[in-house]
Amino acid sequence: MPDHTSPEHAPAPDPVHHQGERPEGTVVFDVEDLAVYYGDFRAVRDVRIQVRQHEVTAFIGPSGCGKTTVLRCFNRMNDLIDIARVEGRLTYHGVDLYDAKVNPVEVRRRIGMVFQKPNPFPKSIYDNVAYGPRTAGLAKKGSALDDIVEQSLRRAALWDEVKDRLKASGLGLSGGQQQRLCIARALATDPEVILMDEPCSALDPIATGRIEDLMEEIKEQYTIIIVTHNMQQAARVSDRCAFFTTEVNEHSDTRTGLLVEYDATETMFSNPSDERTENYVTGRFG
C-alpha cells in the first residue's frame, strides 16, 4: 500500500455534501455506496463519506444503525466476522482497502482501534505498550523500544501517572487510565488513523474529559473517527459528523441502517439539511 498524501489525492469538491464552512483537508478515506451484510441481512447501506486528515469525524445515530459496523470497515475488522460482507468502495489514500493485494495486518497497524471497554492485556503497563512494536518488528527491546513506550504514553497523557510503575500490571490502573493505556498501545505502532468505538462510555465525566482533551491534542498528528452516543461529545470533539438512522425493511421485521447526512459538525448541530438529523440532534428522536 503506498504511503502518500500527494496532491493528486487531494479531494474533489463534493457535490452532495456541502461540508459547512470547513476548509477541505486531504482526504484519507473515500467511501462510496458502502453496504455491510451479516449473512443475508443488510445491516447498513448508502454510506458515502470522505474522512479528512487531522480531523475528528464522529458517527452518531440510534442504536443498531450500523455505526460500529461501518467503523470496523475502516481497518477491515469485519474480516474477522465470518458472515460479514462489505459491498461498495472504501479507499485509503486512493487505494482500495479491500483489494486482494492489501494486507489486513498492515492495515490494522496503520489504522488502530480503541474499543468501548478498556481492554488492557493482563501484562505490565510497559508490555501493553511494547506489544505492538514488538509484534510488528518496529523495535524488539532496549532503548529504541523504551523510547516508543515513553513517547506513546506521553502522547496518551499517561506518562506522568505511570512512569514510576511501568512494571505494574495494566489491570491495576483506573478505568480512565486503562483507556489511555489502550490509546498509548494503539499509538505505539505509529498509526495514521485511530478508530474509537464509544471510547468513553465506560468512563466517568472526569476521565471522559481527559480523553476528549487528548483527542484534541493528538489530532494534529492523527486522523480520528469516533462512534459516540453522546451528542454533546460529538459536538465538542468532532470537526465533521455523520448521522445514521434505521429504516424498517418492507418484507421483514428487520431494520437496516443508512447514512442520512454528513457535514461539518457545526452545520449538523445548528442547521442540518435533513429533518431526521434535526430531530435527532435536538433530542426529539430517541
Ligand X SMILES: Nc1ncnc2c1ncn2[C@@H]1O[C@H](COP(=O)(O)OP(=O)(O)OP(=O)(O)O)[C@@H](O)[C@H]1O
Cα-only R_g, the chain: 19
Q: Which three cell numbers stand for residue 23?
A: 476548509
Whichever of 90 and 166 has its CB closer to ligand X, that residue is 90
Cα–Cα distance list, 184 to 54, 118, 149 (Å): 18, 12, 8
Write down the least CB distance from residue 247 to ligand X, Å: 12
Write down the least CB distance from residue 82 to ligand X, Å: 9
175 C-beta neighbours (distance < 10 Å), count: 14
Whichever of 66 and 120 has its CB closer to ligand X, that residue is 66
88 C-beta neighbours (distance < 10 Å), count: 16
Q: How far apart are CA 34 and CA 85, in angstroms?
A: 11
Whichever of 64 and 175 has its CB closer to ligand X, that residue is 64
In 3D space, the residue among 98, 102, 63, 101 whose CA is nearest the CA of residue 84 turns out to be 98
User: Which residues lie near ligand X (CB under 6 A)?
Assistant: 38, 43, 61, 63-69, 81, 257
Whichever of 83 and 144 has its CB closer to ligand X, that residue is 83
Write down the least CB distance from residue 228 to ligand X, Å: 9
Whichever of 43 and 86 has its CB closer to ligand X, that residue is 43
Question: How buried is 176 (Cβ within 10 angstroms: 0-12 exposed, 13-18 middle, 19+ buried)?
Answer: buried
Write down the least CB distance from residue 155 to ligand X, Å: 27
Write down the least CB distance from residue 64 to ligand X, Å: 4
Whichever of 171 and 231 has its CB closer to ligand X, that residue is 231
Write down the least CB distance from residue 126 to ligand X, Å: 32
Residue type, 29: F
Torsion of CA 53, 149, 188, 139, to 10 degrees: 130
